Amino acid sequence: MNQTTISAKQKKQSSVYGVLEKKINSRSAKVAVIGLGYVGLPLAVAFGKAGFQVEGIDVDPKKLKEIQSGKTPVVGVSDSEIQDVLEKDRLRVSSDYTSLKDADVIIICVPTPLSKSLDPDLSYIVSATQAIAKNLKKGQLIILESTTYPGTTEEVLLPEFEKKSLKAGVDFFLCFSPERIDPGNKKYELKDIPKIVGGINSESSKLGVMLYQQIVSKAFPVSSPRVAEMAKLLENTFRIVNIGLVNELTTAAKELNIDIWEVIDAASTKPFGFMPFYPGPGIGGHCIGVDPIYLSWKAKFHGRELRFIELARQMNAEMPEFVVRKVGEILNDHGIACRGSKILILGLAYKKDVDDTRESPAFAVMEKLAKQGAQISYHDPLIPQLNWNGVQLKSTKLSEQALKDFDLVVITTDHSSVPYETVVKYSKAIFDTRNVLKNYPNRKNIVRL
């Protein structure tokens, strides 16, 4: 859609724009957040803390019950924060989409996974869009935050809303603003991270910027939703390519008998032109492993093949197999066959200090070792129990006796709360894929990736 321009005089006369502008600035606007996961719940709480009346919508009854009881289901939001906004009646949660009729602002924070064939699955976005369209009214601002391919806002959301005979950019306003939340990152919380806002016209962008400035330090407008959508994918494509590069160099460094961690530390002394990335057992989570594939998929429709993305994806996907091969070598060095060996996987989450296991490489490592006949146990301080392939497992306590019983401990996630000194002291052998034991350089029972 072409940018619609409204003159300053028209804007002043526009009761729709003017009323919404006044509501946002006075924080009297009612905000609805669809999807109360790692992105939506922090956003809903932030708006509630800022004084807005927030309606959180989610289809998971367990999650809704947990929030209503004052408990947080996600890392990054504390129980006390939820209790505070609940007590002040700034946050209500339900699965009722009809509450969207009363909202002035609607923010979509639903999952955007991949199908088994690695195609984008927009079913959650489509479902949310249809629910909004049923309840759409004049004077609403709708913002999509879910990461997706360039064009989604204008090609999927906008046509559905325009069926209501309301004029986009005049009667209602539409933006894309990519989520940038990093779960578990205490240095950069939601309020510290600038928001990119791309509206279907300048008025949509201005309202979007105005809204986010109520809860974040800076909101940065761009010329269109496509630019905002592409910016998010660039951020994560940059990461997947560089992680793929360092993972490939790690495999080469092993053959050359070079410590890749020392190499990275040495290269990091250069004050310009270099940014350190670190190897690991693979990549996980929703962002790095999924988002670039959305871009690659979209590019194919325009006759472009994004080879860097595909090569990086392949390299990162091979890392669990590389880890398993190294496990076999370590066991052989101790005179133990993989079949029948007792292995403890230390850390199931895809990254440190979160309980999110989506796409975690730890599971690929576990499954490959189990196929080779290893007996698998796990420890994760944030995941007390797990249903793995139909088997109910419990996190193993890191006691002296328990650690001595394992033939090998494989560190796949570097949680801060793990008693590593105990692990090092009592484990027969440790394979550290995260370099979390770098302060134990002379311990013969430690092998690093």
Domain ranges of the chain: 8-223, 245-448
Q: Do domains 8-223 and 245-448 have the same CATH topology?
A: yes
- The correct answer on CATH 3.30.1490.190 for the domain covering 245-448 is no
Catalytic residues: 287
Kindly write down the DSSP assignment for every residue of 174-201, as one continuous string.
EEE------TT-SSS-GGGS-EEEEESS
- pLDDT computed for residue 8 by the predictor: 54
Of 158, 159, 162, the C-alpha closest to 144 is 158
List the chain pLDDT tens, one digit each, 449 residues.
444 455 554 554 468 999 999 999 999 999 999 999 999 999 999 999 999 999 999 999 999 999 999 999 998 899 999 999 999 999 999 999 999 999 999 999 999 988 877 788 999 999 999 999 999 999 999 999 999 999 999 999 999 999 988 999 999 999 999 999 888 788 888 999 999 999 999 999 999 999 999 999 999 999 999 999 999 999 999 999 999 999 999 999 999 999 999 999 999 999 999 999 999 999 988 777 788 888 888 888 888 888 888 899 899 999 999 999 999 999 999 999 999 999 999 999 999 999 999 889 999 999 999 999 999 999 999 999 999 988 899 999 999 999 999 999 999 999 999 999 999 999 999 999 999 999 998 889 999 99
Q: Which residues are paired to 53 by β-bridges?
A: 30
The widest CA-to-CA distance across the chain, in whole angstroms, is 82
Classified as helix, coil or strand, 249 is helix
- pLDDT computed for residue 396 by the predictor: 97
Q: How far apart are CA 45 and CA 36, in angstroms?
A: 10
Sheet holding 173-176, edge to edge: 91-94, 53-57, 30-34, 105-108, 141-144, 173-176, 195-199, 219-222
One-letter-per-residue 3-state SS of 136-175 = CCCCCEEEECCCCCCCHHHHHHHHHHHCCCCCECCCEEEE
Tokens of 393: 């497992």
Q: How far apart are CA 215 and CA 185, in angstroms?
A: 18
Q: How far apart are CA 91 and CA 81, in angstroms?
A: 11
Distances in whole angstroms, Cα of residue 343 to Cα of each of 349, 350, 419, 422: 17, 19, 18, 17
The burial class, CB within 10 Å (0-12 / 13-18 / 19+), for 198 is buried
- The correct answer on CATH 3.40.50.720 for the domain covering 8-223 is yes
